[in-house]
Amino acid sequence: MIFSEKDIERFLRGDYFEVYRSDEREITVLSKNSEDFWDLTIFQNKIEIRHKHKLNHPYHKDKWYATNLEDARERIIKHDLYVMNGRKPIEPELLNHILKFYK
């Protein structure tokens, strides 16, 4: 499994992320909404997702996994929305509406 140029372009569409690094095995971006840094790395045919709050901080110990970049993008957006909502869940109907906006 590798990240194709087409997959990377689709993941980065819009103005949601600022790219710090991108190649066929790893993508590092800054979310412009939450200002969290995200690292996506191919790991055993899955995408390992890690994040941190500042560029010079270590990544959090928690890791998430996604099956593809679209799934990873949605997980990051959901996390950002949770953080921007004061770490409270967003009602499912509103969450779905917002996710459609970013697709």
* Domain chopping of the chain, boundaries: 5-102
pLDDT value of position 18: 93
Around Cβ 9, how many Cβ atoms within 10 Å? 11
Question: Shortest CA distance to 75 belongs to which of 84, 83, 66?
Answer: 66
> For residues 8 and 28, what is the distance between their CA atoms, to the nearest angstrom?
11
pLDDT value of position 102: 82
pLDDT of residue 103 exceeding 90, the answer is: no
> For residues 55 and 17, what is the distance between their CA atoms, to the nearest angstrom?
14
Q: Residue ranges of the alpha helices (H) in 14-56?
A: none
pLDDT value of position 30: 96
pLDDT in tens, 28-65: 999 999 999 999 999 889 999 999 999 899 999 999 99
Write down the pTM of the prediction: 0.90
